[in-house]
Amino acid sequence: MKRLLLFLLPILATDLAAQSIHVGLSADSLEAGQRFEYRVRVDKAGYEHVLPPDTSAWGDLAELISWKRVESGTGIDSLVFTLQFFGTADTTLPAVAFRLIGTDTLLLPAPELPVAFKTLVTAPEAELQPLKPLYAFARRWWVWILTALLLATALWWLYRRWKNRPEPEPPAPVEPPKPDWMRDPLIELRMALQNVRTAGYFEDGRFKEGYAETGDALRRYVEKVHGIPALESTTSELKRDLKRTALDEHRTRTLLELLESADLVKFAKAVPTREAAESMLETAQKFADTSRYADEPLIIAYKNRHDPV
């Protein structure tokens, strides 16, 4: 074993001597926060390339900003590291180890580098002295009195202005949105006819009230859907205006018969039988059912125009 060690020792010594490292700085002295270059030249005989050290290799004295590899001759590797100095006094950059990679790995340490600290703080200046002694000036009391009077006047004016301010107008009442059935003329017509039936007008002999509400409900539907002033027109005027609407002949004839019977009960004081009144109400209901599909586009257009949203 001793003979083997004696044989290998000269070979190892020759291999270590073949690699060398040289380091240098781009400045002789540094100030706090200054950036500088840490230059490394490695003779890497027998190895392929050199790996840079870890970013924390310089400790708290310097922070690694960037690094680059510089093209050099065969067997030489040059690295340039840009560092930022954070020292506050003369110090020494620590030894940094570089790893040589080849058939095996070799850790090659760089020597420590002394760094001189350069400060920008200069010696304190001589304390400035006044050229002449300071003199006290007499106080002008009238200035303070005048200022106080002006301030009191301004406060009084602001108080009077605030006291005589106009009362704010009450907000305009917000009308609640109309229920959905009031935006659908057909639903409104059906509800009105249902109210006539459930109110018991014809059972109690109140034919005039029942006929009047039925006629008004029909007129209101025609005015909203077909856009003619049916509520303000007489039956004869309405007959003329209905020619300009989309009502077909059958529905027009049915509507006019219903309105004429309502006029007879309201104005001519005709007294129908209960069976005739029930038949009239049933005919009005059939008119509403027929209009469901015939007037559907017009009803949708009316709802879109009167949507509260």
Question: Cα separation of 70 and 10, whole Å?
Answer: 33
Instruction: Calculate helix-pair angle for 185-198, 207-226, nearest 10 degrees.
Output: 180
Question: Cα separation of 69 and 73, whole Å?
Answer: 12
For 211, other C-beta atoms within 10 Å of its C-beta total 26
- Comparing 61 with 248, the larger pLDDT belongs to 248
Tell me the mean pLDDT in the region 273-292: 91
- Contact between 205 and 197 (Cβ < 8 Å): no
Write down the pLDDT at residue 126. Answer: 47
- Comparing 18 with 284, the larger pLDDT belongs to 284
CATH number of 17-117: 2.60.120.570
Q: 208: helix, coil or strand?
A: helix
Write down the pLDDT at residue 8. Answer: 39
Question: Cα separation of 81 and 64, whole Å?
Answer: 7
- Asked whether the predicted pLDDT for residue 15 surpasses 70, the reply is no
- Asked whether the predicted pLDDT for residue 282 surpasses 90, the reply is yes
Q: What is the DSSP letter of 102?
A: S
Q: 127-184, pLDDT tens digit by residue?
A: 555 555 555 555 678 888 989 999 999 999 998 888 888 877 777 776 655 555 457 8
CATH number of 180-305: 1.20.120
Q: 239-281, pLDDT tens digit by residue?
A: 888 888 888 889 989 989 999 998 888 887 888 888 998 999 9
Q: In what order do the strands lie in the sheet with 105-109?
A: 49-51, 97-101, 105-109
The domain ranges of the chain are 17-117, 180-305
Report the predicted TM-score, pTM, of the whole model to 2 decimal places.
0.43
* CA 293 distance to own-chain centroid: 45
Q: 194-211, pLDDT tens digit by residue?
A: 998 898 888 888 888 989
